[in-house]
Structures are given as C-alpha cells and as structure tokens.
A and B are shown apart, each in its own frame.
Chain A
Amino acid sequence: MKKISVRQAQVEAIDEEMKRDSSVFVLGESVSTFAATGIFAGLVDKYGPKRVRNTAISETAILGGAIGAAVTGMRPIASLMSCDFMGVCGDELINQLQMRYMFGGKAKLPLTIVASSGAGVSGAAQHSKTLYGWFMSIKGLKLVVPSTPYDAKGLLKSAIREDNPVVMLAHKMVGRLTSEIPDEEYTIPLGKADIKREGSDVTVVAIEFMVHRALAAADKLQQKGISIEVIDPRTLVPLDKQTIINSVKKTGRLVIISEEPMTGSAAGEISAIVAEEAFDFLDAPIKRICAPDTPVPFSPVLEKFWMPSEERLIKAVTEIT
C-alpha cells in the first residue's frame, strides 16, 4: 500500500497505460510544460513530446484531432483542462463523437477526455461547473466521476482501455486528497457503484466531492442515531442503478447530493429512476440537495451558499426520518 493523491493516482494510471499500449498518447494545452503538479507530471520526460503533445489554445482542434486519431487506430487522451471549456468544442462533443452510431457501428472511438470539475476555489462561473446533467444528455459518451485516489486510478485505466469516448472528471476539491492504494496493478470497471459507507435508515447518493460531505454528515447523523448508507455511483454513464435501488429497498429513503443546479441534473435523473422502479419501497419523498438554478458565483461567501453543504444534507435526512 502507498498513500497518494487523486492527481498522483491519475498520473500513475496514464503512465501505466502509456507503457502498456503504444497507441495511447496525450494531447492538450500545456500538457508537457505547465503540468508539474498536474495529471501529466513527468510524463513528457518518460515518453517524449510525440506522445505527450503540447497544443495551441485550440479546444476544437484538440478534441476534433483526438476523434480523428481515435477513429484511425490511436487511443488519445485529450486534456481539456476545466470541463467548463468543453463549450468551446461543443460540436465535437455533441455531434462529432456520435460517429459510431451515425456510421451504423462501423467506427470505434477509443478516446478519453480528462478535465477538472467543480466549485470551491472561487473559480466563478466559467471555471467551476460540473455539467453532469449536460454530459449525461449526450448519447454515446460515458462519464466517470471519481471521489478517491483508489477510484480515480482504477477508473481512469478502464476509461483509457474503453473503445468508447469517456469524459473523466476530477473535482478540484478532491485533487489533492490522499488515501492508500495498492502497489499492484488494478482496474475498476465502469458502471459499478461503490458503497462508501453502509447504513440502514437513509440511502444517500453522493457524487464526486459531495461523497466527502456525505461521509462527514454520516458521522454527525450517527451521533443522532441516524444511520445513512453513502453510495458513490463512480460513473454516471453507465449508471449502476441496481446498487442504488437495492439500497433504497433496504432503507426506504433516498437523498441525492450533487453539486450542480437542480434543473436538468444527474440528481433529477437518479430520483426519476428510483421513483419509477422502486416507488413501492419508498417510505418518504425523495430529496435532492443540489445547487440553486444560477451560474456559479465568485465571492467565497456566495460560492459557499451555492455549493450543497453538509448542513443541508443533515437537515434533509433528519426531515424524512
């Protein structure tokens, strides 16, 4: 076992996959220069500038280029820095990535898009989004949302090996978080949720950084005699709905905490699934703890108000138990 951060876990995953498969390469802005503390740290020294390719500030050419390379036999990792920037290459994301389907299954697009997500560092509206709901609405795209170093490494390795386009987010508030991971190689399949804490009274589905808020709330709720089960979906596409439904069958209650405006959110989709498929097991209304339907504000006091909090989660759980 060794203790590493989420960012270091991502470096290890990319490093191992580049070593394993010569068709894997990285392209993006400042991936070989500005990346000393980032997820490509040291990789250019190891694999050279041909496989760790610095690009101009050209999100469209980065993602479009990754698509062209993927469909002709390479396995690119496109770095788009912050997921907010994906609007720049919006056409590539919502139209060009659908090549496989449009071509009647005759194309394969093994490519991974890596980007940071989330608020908490006063990044304001253009550097703080998570866009879960938006990504989930794009068909033919998988979405990975890790919350720990262990998950980040195992999921990123699987994402790179996928023969489909995958968006792999990493929350800014989680990047430096450390925990122990095994020394030996491992992967985690996409579409498998993880029960981060077992409990009996309320199922709490939490995404990315919110997993940590849910775990902190769990301790406090335990002191009040309420036991929550914290489920981390780990990937939103595919979504392991069975693990969530099984938990709801046990607890009879569901709260979803997700850092995104409520309308059109992943939280809305998860609550709809449970309402449709496990309604008879619910003993209380489903609660969603999301951000308000506003852009992300800048000032720390405003941003703190915007982000779903431990307190709001505790209040919601208490209300339905």
Chain B
Amino acid sequence: MAIEKEKLIEMYRTMVRIRTFEERVAKEFAEGNIPGFVHLYVGEEATATGACANLRPDDYITSTHRGHGHLIAKGGKTKRMMAELYGKKTGYNKGKGGSMHIADMDIGIIGANGIVGAGIPVAGGAALSAQMRETDQVVICFFGDGATDTSRFHEGVNMASHWKLPVVYAIENNLWAMSTRTSAVRNITRLTDRAAAYGIPGVTVDGNDVLAVYEAVGKAVARARRGEGPTLVECQTYRHRGHSEGDPGTYKPKKEVEEWMKRDPIPRFEKKLIEMGVLTEKEASEINQAMLKELDEAVKFAEESPLPDPEETLEDVFA
C-alpha cells in the first residue's frame, strides 16, 4: 500500500499530538487544574489515528469516555478541548460537557460519551441519516472491548447490518474494562468472532500499528461508502495508564505492562518512518517540540479564557 509521505508524517504528528495532549492533561489534572475526572488514551494513539486518517471532514465519528484521541484524530482543536476540560466558556461545549462529552458537529464529532456502548445505536442512526439523505458519508463508531458485552452492541449492530448502514465499528480492545481483565468476564478472546452473528466481516488487527489500522479501517470505510454495510474491526491495543487519572493501575501485571511498553505505537512508528526514509530523527524531534509548544499554548488559552457566567446553566436546554 503506497501512502503519500505527507500523509504518513501527518499520522505521526497526530499520534504525537494525542500523546502530548494526554500527558499534559495528566499533569494539569494532578495539579488540580482540571475538575471532574479524565480517562486518558495514552498507548492507544495508533487506533484513532489510523482509523480517522480514512475519513473526510463531513464523515462522522462517535466516541467514548476515553475520547480525547478520537477527537484530535478527527480534527478537534487542542486549544478548545483543553478549555472545555478547564470548564471554560471558550471550550467546545462552553463548559457544559467536560472531558466525557466533547463534541463538534461542524467536523462530524457526535460527542464523546459517558455511557459505555451508547455510541453504537447513535452511530447507526447517523449512518441511517446519511443513507436516507443519499450522501456517501460514513460513520466510525469507536468503543472499547467492554462495550461489546452490552446489550446495545447486539441491537445496534443487528440493525446496522440488516439495513447495510455505512458504519465501521472500531473496537479498541485494550484488555481491561476498568480494573477487570475482560477475558475474566467473557467466553471468547477474539472479539471479531461476534461478526459472524450479524453476517458482516470482522477483522482483528494490531491496534498499535497505525498502518495496519489504517489499512483495515480503510477497507471497511470503502465497503461502507459503497453501500455494502458495516464491518467490525478489532484493534488490539493497551491502556498505558489506569482506568481514569487517580487509578494507578496496580492490578495490571508488571510483565504485561513491560511487554506492551515495548510495543508503544509512537516510537514504533517513528522508527519505521525513519527506516523508510520518510522522516529524520531531527524532524521527529521538531514535531515533538512543536506539539509541546502547541500544548503550552492550549493550556495558556484555557487558563486565560473566561469562566462561563453561572446564569448560562439555564441556557441550551431546548432549541
């Protein structure tokens, strides 16, 4: 598969942007600058990046409680995301949503979601809308391994497969549902075994290999655009941090963590790009520096932005 150099570099930049954003959020959260709770995407960057690299600006995504990576990969601006995390008026949701509800309908982000699996039926509805309006938009529906155990997975995928809706289910199998190893609560290990129940294709890929994700989701997106219906893509990845910040993740075996750290998607992709002659070490370092600077600016923007007027609580209930 030949991918243009610019596209490869853009994918690398997106992965670094996500990592830098999340690490900065961890720091600001620990220092008490971010209210509520945050679930970080560190370690899973290749999945959102590889999947969304197949989308157009007018395509849709539905996201999850661990959503920052999806939003950045779909074009979300770190400044406005950070402002939302700070509860500021300039945030994507004017301070009404926070980390778990960031949305931007202008770039097709139908929201992060605080309820596991809730995006599955909503993604189907957006795909139905695209089908009925006769556009060729597609929807990528992101969710974790845990969401495949919810009843809405069955209802949503059954409906979408029957109506051949243009949706791609990107499962992020990070092995852990909060602090429960998911193999301890499920009878199958390959989540794409579930695809057979709906008569749709299912493909399991290395979710820490951005190009493997890009290729697999690319095929699924093309199939969806052709009107042939949904695909289940299981991306096997790993959550580096705890379930949410404040959870040290001590239940994860040390050996398992070490193994997965060796497969960290960012150094891996960087090495590959350097080997391919697409990127030099110097350029990689420049990208990392640029992202640190972007995040400094994002935090500054968030800090300096005005808080919402308390009376704004009463707005936006009804159209």
Q: Which A residues, 98 to 125, have Cβ-Cβ distances below 8 Å to chain B?
A: 99-110
Whether, in the assembled complex, B232 has its beta carbon less than 8 Å from a beta carbon of chain A, the answer is no
Closest to A108 in B: B319
Known contacts A74-B133, A95-B114, A102-B111: does B155 contact A60 (CB below 8 Å)?
Answer: yes
The digit string for A34-73, where 1 denotes a CB below 8 A from any CB of B, is 0000000000000000100101101111011111111111
Q: How far, in Å, is A64 (CB) from chain B's closest CB?
A: 2
Q: Which residues of B contact A101 (CB under 8 A)?
A: 96, 316-317
Do the beta carbons of B128 and A68 come within 8 Å of each other?
Answer: yes
Whether, in the assembled complex, A178 has its beta carbon less than 8 Å from a beta carbon of chain B, the answer is no
Whether, in the assembled complex, B169 has its beta carbon less than 8 Å from a beta carbon of chain A, the answer is no
Whether, in the assembled complex, B251 has its beta carbon less than 8 Å from a beta carbon of chain A, the answer is no
Known contacts A61-B159, A106-B93: does B316 contact A73 (CB below 8 Å)?
Answer: no
Do the beta carbons of B93 and A102 come within 8 Å of each other?
Answer: yes
Closest to B137 in A: A72
Of the candidate stretches B45-53, B116-124, B200-208, B261-269, the one touching chain A is B116-124
Task: For the complex, give the distance between the alpha carbons of A67 and B318 in Å.
Answer: 15
Task: For the complex, give the distance between the alpha carbons of A283 and B156 in Å.
Answer: 56
Whether, in the assembled complex, B101 has its beta carbon less than 8 Å from a beta carbon of chain A, the answer is yes
Whether, in the assembled complex, B125 has its beta carbon less than 8 Å from a beta carbon of chain A, the answer is yes
Whether, in the assembled complex, A265 has its beta carbon less than 8 Å from a beta carbon of chain B, the answer is no
Known contacts A70-B125, A103-B93, A104-B94: does B120 contact A64 (CB below 8 Å)?
Answer: yes
Closest to B162 in A: A56
Do the beta carbons of A69 and B128 come within 8 Å of each other?
Answer: yes
Select one of B93, B114, B126, B128 contacting A104, CB under 8 A: B93
Q: Which A residues, 223 to 266, have Cβ-Cβ distances below 8 Å to chain B?
A: none
Do the beta carbons of B115 and A95 come within 8 Å of each other?
Answer: yes
Whether, in the assembled complex, A148 has its beta carbon less than 8 Å from a beta carbon of chain B, the answer is no
Q: Which residues of A contact B152 (CB under 8 A)?
A: 60-61, 64, 91
Do the beta carbons of B124 and A68 come within 8 Å of each other?
Answer: yes
Do the beta carbons of B132 and A65 come within 8 Å of each other?
Answer: no
Of the candidate stretches B25-33, B102-110, B218-226, B279-287, the one touching chain A is B102-110
Q: Which residues of A contact B151 (CB under 8 A)?
A: 60
Do the beta carbons of A103 and B103 come within 8 Å of each other?
Answer: yes
Task: For the complex, give the distance between the alpha carbons of A60 and B103 in Å.
Answer: 22
| Chain A residues proximal to chain B, CB less than 8 Å | 25, 50, 53, 55-56, 58-61, 63-74, 76, 91-92, 95-96, 99-110, 139-140, 142, 163-164
